[in-house]
Structure 1
């Protein structure tokens, strides 16, 4: 059976002293596996070292809860799922579940126990983590939640809600996940799909893209806003600075500011996937997480490092600011 990536909402208010201490102890400072070989099962250490060859990983855990209330929710969690850490009305951190296991002794060593004597024994290791700065209010609006709804306990979002957030926030799947791929099942799923392959909305968006490009491209060639290369129009697209699907109608119609020319030779992809962003005043900012993708790091170093984006302006800054807080692969907050 093919597992569809879900998004897990993990409440973790860092304004609470104990929560912040746990975050410092096992997120800011990853857990070294060999330091706990005396209480980690050999099979778990083997899996962790396969996933994390440097011998350490960021970890978190969940308490069973009163009357084991959390167990039904934990059973819905799987490797490959994304976890959003929320607290103080913001989403501030996230990553992919690389491995899950249960170890009460290790959890007690790492985090102690709560006021009820329970510990966070349902543990998971995270890979591909990054920082965010997204108001929970924005998540409520995006997913059409009740305006008063809060993230009170560990919860797994529906497939539809997860897909919406994954697409609109560009949540790339992490490579460090022990999840065998059943190619035959994937091909069968594609073959059996009988949904509409071409939608009117997609055609309308292509028309909008063409109109934007005509506005930005004044001749047969144009300059990529990111790398500055002068290229034939065939290799340039009108790239939305803020993801189009997250724009209001007024923002979509702000043709003078909402988009920039980006080349298909690499710049559009590294911006779209958050490996670079544009800081206030136009300096290109490079994600520290690019170290994990050497080929992408080489492209950025050769084409984009130390560049100033002349396309930046005060009127475009709100769109670039959105990209920095939602799409850019920022380092996890310390």
Structure 2
């Protein structure tokens, strides 16, 4: 499971450095002058050919900075906090120590050593907005913990903050098709999605799918309720469960995913309460014995046309409806 790294950025130096490597990424051609070629190639792949974001940690005299930095792994999430609030988060894809690169990025005047040589690279940076007090309460730590210094929390303590990052749509910009294919092939060839590299590759895959649905096709309408939402409230949902898709099916991104909203439609489809029949009409799947709110949502949708259905997508919709274990019942 990913860990949360708490990174305070309140002081003047940190605020200046944000403008150089977080508000804008660091060009790969600059990074390539310092990192080994295999690490540069890895960054290019996992960031979808785009430039990464970079931050650095001070070793400190008691080595506390290094000890925290060494806890970082691929897939962990850094939360940047200033003046009592977390304002940004980024998905970590690489950790690397380099004094000269740190000096180059942040224009440090010290000729002897860079102040922040313990670097971590992020494929994406997204805005968040919650107070430290709220985060401390979620993590079960002291409410007045001021996040003094860089610290990496345990997986268990981090879980609530990682969920906040997911809700902030923490996905990288869409990679090119060859990076998308490479990520899927690696995931299918034995890289566990629970390990660090697998987590980063999964984000790369999701970034491509979201770009296809919400940018390339410029659609923001839910395929079930037909309401229009901002992309942050939409899901690139797999029609056929992703875990049982073949490589060919995973690469069929034009047909394997469907745009659904976060306001009930995605959950009702994923859990089998709504299905799409062979004619493209939305029907009831499993029955609901309780939950009047969900029943009303279903009543409003069943019998309407799924505007995402097509003959080429029918095999995936057929798999979905036949995977619903409970016999279909008439919805009343």
TM-score for the superposition, normalised by structure 2: 0.52
- After superposition, where does 1:138-287 map in structure 2 within 5 Å? 138-168=134-164, 170-171=166-167, 174=171, 263=225, 271=233
Which residue number corresponds to residue 232 of structure 1? none
Q: Is the 8 A contact 2:222 2:228 kept in 1?
A: no
Residue 73, structure 1, aligned to residue 36, structure 2: no
User: What do the CA deviations read for 1:36-58 (whole angstroms, capped 9, x no partner)?
Assistant: 43333222222222223445221
Q: CA deviation at 1:88?
A: 0.7
Q: Determine the C-alpha separation between the residues in 1 that align with 2:8 and 2:191.
A: 34
Structure 1 residue 184: Cα displacement: 7.0
**Larger relative contact order (Cα-Cα within 8 Å, sequence gap ≥ 6):** 1
Q: Match of 1:28, SS?
A: coil
CA deviation string 1:217-274 (max 9, x = no partner)? xxxxxxxxx9599xxxxx6xxxxxxxxxxxxxxxxxxxxxxxxxxx499969951669
Counterparts of 1:169 and 1:41, CA distance in 2: 30
Counterparts of 1:48 and 1:184, CA distance in 2: 20
Q: 1:96 aligns with which of 87, 91, 94?
A: 91
| Partners of 1:137 and 1:90 in 2: CA distance | 8
**Whole-angstrom CA distance in 2 between matches of 1:102 and 1:112:** 17
Equivalence for 1:10: 7
Post-superposition shift, 1:161?
2.1
Aligned to 1:199: none
Partner residue in 2 for 1:41: 36
Residue 131 of structure 1 is matched in structure 2 by 127
More displaced 10-residue stretch of structure 1: 91-100 or 141-150 = 141-150
CA distance in 2: counterparts of 1:161 and 1:143, whole angstroms? 5
Q: Secondary structure at the match of 1:142?
A: helix
Whole-angstrom CA distance in 2 between matches of 1:183 and 1:42? 24
Separation of aligned partners in 2, 1:264 and 1:128: 30
Gaps of 5+ in 2: 195-219, 237-252, 261-332
**Which residue matches 2:207?**
none
The CA deviation at 1:174 is 4.2
- Over aligned residue pairs, what C-alpha RMSD do you find? 4.3
Alpha-carbon distance in structure 1 between the residues aligned to 2:16 and 2:193: 46
Match of 2:45 among 50, 63, 66: 50
Aligned length: 209
Is 1:32 the counterpart of 2:31? The answer is: no
CA gap 1:69/1:169 in 2 versus in 1, 3 angstroms: closer
DSSP-derived class of the 1:91 partner: strand
In the alignment, does 2:81 pair up with 1:119? no
Unpaired runs of at least 5, structure 1 = 189-225, 230-234, 236-262, 275-292, 301-334
Contact 1:34 1:55 in 2 (8 A): no
Partner of 2:272: none
CA gap 1:23/1:160 in 2 versus in 1, 3 angstroms: same
Distance change in 2, residues 1:150/1:266 (3 Å): same
